[in-house]
Amino acid sequence: MAFSSWKDIPAAGDAPAFRVFEGDLEKPALDDRQYRLLELHNGLRAVLVHDQAADKAAASLAVTTGYMLDPDDIPGLAHFCEHMMIKATLFVCLIQGSEKYPSESDYHSFISANGGIRNAVTGPPSTEYWFSISPSALAGGLERLADLHCAPLFTESLTAREVNAVDSEFKRNWQNDARRVLQVNKTLGIPGHPWSKFGTGNYVSLTAAGRRLGEDVSEETVLKETRRRLVEWWKSQYCASRMMLAVIGKESLDELTGLVVPVFSKIANRGLDPRPAFKNDAWGPEHMGTVVFVQTVKDYHAFSLSFQLPDLREHYATKPASFLAHFLGHEGPGSICAYLKKRGWLLDISAGVSGTSRSVQFFKISGRLTLEGYLHYRDVIRTIFGYIALLRAAFPLEPYHFNEVKTMAETRFRFKEKAQPHRNASALAHGLAEPYPPEWLLSGAALYREYDEALVKGILEDFVPERGRIVLEAKAHRPEVVGDDVVWETEKWYGTRYAVKRMDESFLQELGKPSENKELHLPAPNPFIPQDLSVGKIDPAKYPVLIKRTEKSQLWYKKDDQFWVPKAHVKIDIKTPLAYATPRLAMLTRLFVDLVEDALAEVTYDADLAGLSYSVVNQIEGLTVSVGGYSDKIHVLLGTVLDKLRGLQVHPDRLRVLKEKIQREYENFYMGQPSGLSESYATWAFMPTIWTPAEKLLELSLITENDVSRHRDELLSRVFVEALVNGNVTRERAIEILGVAEQSLNYRPLVPSETPRQRSLVLPPASNVISRRQHANPKEVNSSLSYYLQFGEVTDVNLRSTLALIAHILREPCYAILRTEEQLGYVVACAQWSINGTIGLGVKIQSTRAPWFTESRVDVFFERMGDRIAAMPADDLATQKEGLIVKTLERPKNLGEESARFWGHIRSGYYDFVKHEADADAIRALTLAEVIRTYDALVRPSTSEQTRRKLSVHLLSQQLHEEPPAPRPATIVLSEVDKGSNTHMALFKSGLECAPAATPVISAAFGEHAPAFDFYRTSAGSSSDASLAGPGRNHTSFVHGAGTGPGPDTESGGAP
């Protein structure tokens, strides 16, 4: 292939000189965006993307400097620098002689106010800063992003706060098993190798240099030294030539060039190596041919087998290691996975390349084991090496193996859909650091262009036991597995206990022998490879239409009219009251679903490779079956899944394996992140019926294979089916798909009153409820607060829009004040929540401080923000409203996102497909007086004593040794003693009323079937009707509303 050249563009006015790439980028067939590659005079490379249809703009700046470049004596400095960089806007401008941005948190505030999100992440070889934003605010976002990297002045006050922020982040992940195992792996390498570094950092590592100044040095002196070393390191490692920028906007390419070149050309080029790489071996001979036993926090069993890879950066056209992963991670007949599952040893497996192209890379085969698999780990490893020997012996490989991988890669790239802009920008920025020719920026990571069998075989030849490392993970290792001659050690940073043992000679010899396992063989040709990739185009519509309705089912349908991909999504709700009526039935349903997926794993793996996917999920209301992918074969996969669902044969050995898996999962639930747990507990507090993992575990041991078979028959005997077909499928084919479901399930209809409908509990006015319980992990240092305010019903368009605006206004100040300024913890967030037809506002904080203290700070924050909102200038309110409207009207970027949005409206029971449009109109009409009135009535503690409905969950660390203060008058405190206890909360909930269940919002989407829903039209109204009360409606009359859990704006999810 002949590659194009670059053209020099001379300086013009204030715009410095730069270079522009003159060639064309290889693009997906559906990609209608325009691209331009630039190289600024300071060495910074940029890709600009003109997307005329963009309703969100985005930018990502990737720097080829990560924690592998940390100084040896200050682990975590790159991560700390990232924290400091995104807080330094004010100081950049001050030293440039400008006070354009008036506050330290201006970058965050500007992005948030304009409907955007932002983040930064530090990896081993690189650091990334990204944001998405309203298209109209892209210029301001780019200017601020550039200023972050020009000449930040890292202040002493910010240094002290962000050292604590990094330490809080470390403490958040201190009990995370994945991070603990990774650090053990890194410890067991060549001393001083960059790969071995402790990348996160904590207070101890970041202040180590300052503490070496002397025993009696003050904290102030220590932090000054940290700051000095930070500035020194930043100057030595941050450089324009190490930066890659991706920008996506509505502006033309010339306009985007005009936004980027002047501001990013100011970043200094210090002449550093633009793409530093770390390809020297991280392991010496003494680090290979070993078994590493690691003690975990959670109770599970897992293994990994890893091999160092050579430098493969130049082999992007052949991707030899990824091709090998196709075989070693296969899950179909004859695979390692299928054989080990048949023996009852394996739960799941994965194989592939670990690490980025400029870092040390490993080929890693890993999976979760059953207890029997752990006890037979040597047999598991024998099976893997047996398959490797089988693969070696199969060379030269049949051509179809590579051709299938190549064909599906080409098909995926050809029909690649748009993603969220910030994700797209991130991928493009990192792609600029790869060695692809510029023409292949979009396709380089995706396509297999040629087959190099000698290279593939050469890599496979190095997959020998002497060059491998086995890691075995368990909470409590058995003596018969570990042996008596091991020495247990403690990893420095996470305190993880581990032991290393060399593989004995007899085991090495066994692993080197040819395979005699007749059950292993290479994959057969894939019958699911799509053949028909044609797409029919039609005029666009806003929502699906109800095209069929009977006493047994109803079908929503929409032909793809904007993405033009040969794909479809089919979602089927199978509603039955028997799925969740008791803890035993809930446990039986979960087991049934897991057994179905387990039985389908072998048969459907080829479908997965061919771009098809499925899921079967247990819900409180029944089951949800989802199938998605290329429409050519989607009906074949759906039929396979439904036939297995109805005709499942329960095998005792698989039931035993899955019961063990579920038991560990449910027991480990209580060992999870405190903030996640407190959110779950708060959500459950508002649900009339919820069976906790502990309650369901009481039933697990009593269930037999006959129980599951009987439950299958009873569960599916009488149901109501609701389905959505969205994509490249005709109306006639959609009706056929529903017919396949009805025929496969072969059921009788429910009586309408039997159809499960979820509702929320309602707190009475003036509620102040506190639920306290202790975290199950005695070593977890963090406590958590989930603070919920109940607003009202989601059908009240004016109320929900006011809530959305309040949450939008509070989001950034909550982070800036409670996290950055007050240093309460790493996890701090404020968001609206919605579930089962009710809405509210929530704050969560994970902290080493007591939850009653963090709750008191939330109260002060709400008071402080009440004053700020009351004094908000009209221009600021307008900016906040416009930013929220941008978020509200954001369109789905691909068929999957559109299907998920439609399905959310269908499962909610409201079918309000144009809710976002009504919300945007209501937000535009909101006045400051309305916002203040709602805030004072439902949020602000000092003005809402008689109207607020508040519930908070205090999840306490066992290392917290202070007593809570005496509760305020009228406070209800519910304390649960045992980790799984729900006694006091259940008694409290029994006295609460329920909010109304969802009623459909009748619209043109109901088509000819609308008259069947006239009852709802006349008795319940709609979200549009709710807004007729006008902007002056009294929000304190929301007494019939309730809600559960901040987080995604979804009505319900999978059953706990």
User: Which residues are identified as catalytic?
Assistant: 82
CB of 624 within 8 A of CB of 899? no
Residue 120 burial (C-beta neighbours within 10 Å; 0-12, 13-18, 19+): middle
**Residues 595 and 654: beta-carbon distance below 8 Å:** yes
- Closest by Cα among 99, 110, 96 to 145: 110
Q: What is the DSSP string of 414-450?
A: HTPPP--HHHHHHHHHHHTTS-S-GGGTTTTTT----
Within its chain, how far is the Cα of 841 from the centroid?
22
- Can you read off the two tokens belonging to residue 803? 């809530």
β-strands 346-354, 127-133: how paired?
Answer: unpaired
**Helix ranges, 354-504 (H):** 371-375, 377-393, 399-414, 421-431, 453-461, 479-482
Q: Which two tokens stand for residue 258?
A: 């005009």
Amino acid sitting at position 473 = E
Q: What DSSP string describes 653-702?
A: HHHHHHHHHHHHHHHHHTTS-HHHHHHHHHHHHT-SS---HHHHHHHHTT
Q: 486 and 472 in contact (C-beta within 8 Å)?
A: no
Distances (CA, A) of 324 to 5, 327, 394, 611: 35, 6, 13, 19
Phi/psi of residue 974, each to 5°? -110, 115
The number of residues making up the chain comes to 1056
In order of 526, 555, 607, 634, 742, the CA distances from 628 in angstroms are 18, 17, 10, 7, 19
Q: Which of 635, 647, 627 is nearest to 572 (CA)?
A: 627
DSSP 621: T
**What single letter denotes the amino acid at residue 275?**
R
Residues 6+ apart with CB under 8 A from 336: 328, 330, 349, 365, 383, 384, 387, 520
CA distances from 212 to 208, 417, 500, 778 (A): 6, 54, 32, 33
3-class secondary-structure state, position 840: strand
What CA–CA distance (Å, rounded) separates 656 from 653? 5
Q: Token pair 């806007």 is at which residue?
A: 89
With 0-12 / 13-18 / 19 or more C-beta atoms within 10 angstroms meaning exposed / middle / buried, residue 965 is exposed
